[in-house]
Amino acid sequence: MHPARPYQQRSARLELDTPDELAAQLAAASPPDLRCFAIQAIDLAPHADALARAQVEGAIFIGCRFRDTEQELDLVRRGAGVFPPLRGIPYDPYRGDLYTVSELMAGEDEGGYPATLDFRIYAHFDRARSCPGGVPLREQLAQRLHDHAIDVALEDVLREERGAGVVAIMGGHGTRRSDPYFRKVAHLGWSLARAGYFVATGGGPGIMEAGNLGPYFSNYSEPRVLDEVITTLSAADRFDGGEEEGTPEYLEAIKRYFRRGRQVLETYGGEVDPEVAERFGRERPESGKSLAIPTWFYGHEPSNLWSTHIAKYFSNSLREDGLLAIATAGVIYAPGSAGTMQEVFMDLAQNHYATFRYRSPMVFLGETRWRSLVGLIREFVATRGMADAYGDLIHLTDDPAEAVEFIRAHPPRERPKTTPLYELI
């Protein structure tokens, strides 16, 4: 077992999400103390008497149901804030946990991808941003509340699941399932999960799918299972089939993409044939865990089927910066396009300034694709006098096993502590 890697929590709040939690907190002191708590989506009528005595200054009631208007006004008068339910939108801006594949894909069996919750939220989001006068203020606020709720839920998951550390895998969304780098990244993700790391990706197709696919099957001791899985998946080689977006052919391609994924799940996930379990050394029925951080900003990218936790955002900038910020054990870059290039330089800036307290490995998988860029980065690091700070954390390889070993051999490096300026005043 690895010791848990350093982790800097980005946000926190005292949170009560169930009637039992609220009742326990109300009974814990006299008078009851809810100061600075967030009370979320609870019917408050049964707790009216205790709430009338409680200290509520700084408390926030989010999407709760009140006994009557007087109860709501009383709490506000005594210093509480109230965020009312927002109706008429297909998502919960106050949700208390991350998404799952089954939640986002609900409806797909009956009506295909356009019937899923994932697509319905995207359609609502895209219509709102296409309004002639801009996104309505109510919708802007709902989206920001939602993304903050995802931030908080992600913190909860990271406290439980980070293991030896979070490693992010980046790369192209258009990479085919038959591409050699899809296979390499799937094996890379399998090895990282087996080594105790918590793998995070952008959650979409291509390299992102491969990055979640590997950990999903890390409950098998024999990585050859991935080769059979990828052979099955490759019959639907790209999520969009190369078809023009918005056409019947495009929707049919996405249908094939998910159908092949379901076929893999039936054969190698859940209750499998004993011969399959024995042949590939299945050690437990539960799949391996990993994290997906996708966005509705790119609505044509459905979330893949292989992550166990999905932190899906409206804001792409929050999503990209956050994904890199939590990857304190390192980031691995497979070949990609402009989005991957952007992430490289964002990560470089985070390492250069130790923005989130730690400097971490930057591993480039693909010598031909990345050689010139890695040379440019190394030159930059040297000319800026930062070679000792993080120059040795940059690595170029074509071998997934070498990438994993580099991550293991180069744990996160905490920046030297300094005295904050405000403490000198």
pLDDT score at 4: 43
DSSP-based three-state secondary structure for 424 = helix
Q: For residue 9, what are its two tokens?
A: 């929590």
pLDDT in tens, 207-251: 999 999 999 999 999 999 999 999 999 999 999 998 998 899 998
Determine the Cα–Cα distance for residues 401 and 192; give it in Å rounded to an integer.
9
Inter-residue contact 5 to 29 (CB < 8 Å): no
What confidence score (pLDDT) does residue 8 get? 54
What is the rounded CA–CA span in Å between residue 212 and residue 418? 38
pLDDT tens digit sequence for 342-392: 999 999 999 999 999 999 999 999 999 999 999 999 999 999 999 999 999
Beta bridge partners of 31: none
Helices within 130-172 (DSSP H only): 137-161
| Residue 2 scores a pLDDT above 50 | no
Question: What would the mean pLDDT of 16-35 be, rounded to a whole number?
Answer: 94
Q: How confident is the model at residue 191 (pLDDT cuts 50, 70, 90)?
A: very high
Mean pLDDT of 312-318: 93
d(CA 35, CA 103): 33
Q: Which residues neighbour 376 within 8 Å (Cβ) at sequence distance 6 or greater?
A: none
Q: What is the pLDDT of residue 422?
A: 84
Mind listing the pLDDT tens digit for each residue in 320-356? Answer: 999 999 999 999 999 999 999 999 999 999 999 999 9
Count of other CB atoms within 10 angstroms of residue 193:
24
Give SS3 for 218.
coil
Contact 224, 240 (CB under 8 A): no
pLDDT at 268: 96
Query: Distance (Å, rounded) from C-alpha 137 to C-alpha 97?
Result: 25
Task: Please report the pLDDT score of residue 162 as a whole number.
Answer: 86
**pLDDT exceeds cutoff 70 at 10:** no
pTM greater than the 0.85 cutoff: yes
Q: How confident is the model at residue 63 (pLDDT cuts 50, 70, 90)?
A: confident
CATH 3.40.50.720 fits 101-414, yes or no: no
Tokens of 272: 């499998």
**pLDDT computed for residue 23 by the predictor:** 96
User: What pLDDT does residue 187 have?
Assistant: 98
Separation of alpha carbons 234 and 252, rounded Å? 16
Whether omega for the bond prior to residue 31 falls within 30 degrees of 0, making it cis, is: yes
Asked whether the predicted pLDDT for residue 5 surpasses 80, the reply is no
Mean pLDDT for 134-144 is 94
Amino acid letter for position 400:
P
pLDDT of residue 255 exceeding 70: yes
